[in-house]
Amino acid sequence: MSAPTGLSRKQMAWRAAQDVFDGAYVNLGIGIPELCAAFVPEGREVVYHTENGVLGFGPAPPPGAEDPELINAGKKPITVKPGAAFFHHADSFAMIRGGHLDIAILGAMQVAGNGDLANWSAGGDAVPAVGGAMDLVAGVRRVLVITEHQTREGEPKLVARCTLPLTGVGVVQRVYTNLGVFDVAGDGFVLVERAPGVTVEAIRAATGAALHVHGEPPEVRAPAT
């Protein structure tokens, strides 16, 4: 079943960025999470970290201004802020494993209602590429996920139980999709906010786990991006 379009990828990243507190040290996963670097709320300072050895990077540079020496873990061009630091990737992982990062914002293939995360293998003959995901979910204080609500085939990504190889058990606290914002409830998900024009019924039909709704969930007030 196809779900309504809802939020764009940039709007999803914008919404997740609003939940990052001032002074947080944050790792951004590959894909949609990378876009969060462009949406730091005014008046907040956020220090972004990447596994390949940069602390204090900013959004992507304008076209034509890329520096091939400045990339994130997804090999995407980045800018750096005053005071940024560069270091060996082993030191980068020591920061992760030592509990020095506050938040990881990651992509996902599946998130279960108990907080289990699968985001590194599609199963079958897919080439495994776990990267630093397992270290991140074990080492940071809070794990947020940004993902499309359904696969290209229309299968739900928010599920009762993950069927793909797990990255971490019970690690996710909140999920942002094109259909809304969801908190992990243990036995399913709580709908916190819904995308403009998307009904609760449509969200429930596109979700593969119990969906708890308290009152009338407000709409996400994302800017047009």
Closest CA to 17 of 32, 2, 1: 32
pLDDT at position 121, please? 80
Q: For residue range 35-65, list pLDDT tens digits in order.
A: 999 999 999 999 999 999 999 999 999 999 9
Residue 128 has pLDDT above 70, yes or no: no
Query: What is the model's pLDDT at position 25?
Result: 98
12: phi > 0 → left, psi -120 to 50 → alpha, else beta; which?
Answer: alpha
Mean pLDDT, rounded, for 87-102: 96
Contacts of 12 (CB under 8 A, 6+ apart): 32, 35, 146, 176, 177, 178
> Per-residue confidence at 3, pLDDT binned at 50, 70, 90?
low
Q: Which residues share a beta bridge with 80?
A: 57
- Catalytic center residues: 51
Report whether pLDDT(155) > 70: yes
pLDDT average, residue stretch 105-124: 91
- pLDDT at 74 exceeding the cut of 90: no
**pLDDT confidence of residue 43:** 95
Structural fold of domain 9-212: Glutaconate Coenzyme A-transferase (3.40.1080)
pLDDT at 57: 95
Q: How confident is the model at residue 198 (pLDDT cuts 50, 70, 90)?
A: very high
pTM given for the model? 0.94
The domain spans of the chain are 9-212
- pLDDT for 131 beyond 90: no
Q: Looking up tokens 């079943």, which residue turns up?
A: 1
Question: For residue 214, is pLDDT > 60?
Answer: yes
Q: What is the mean pLDDT of the chain?
A: 94
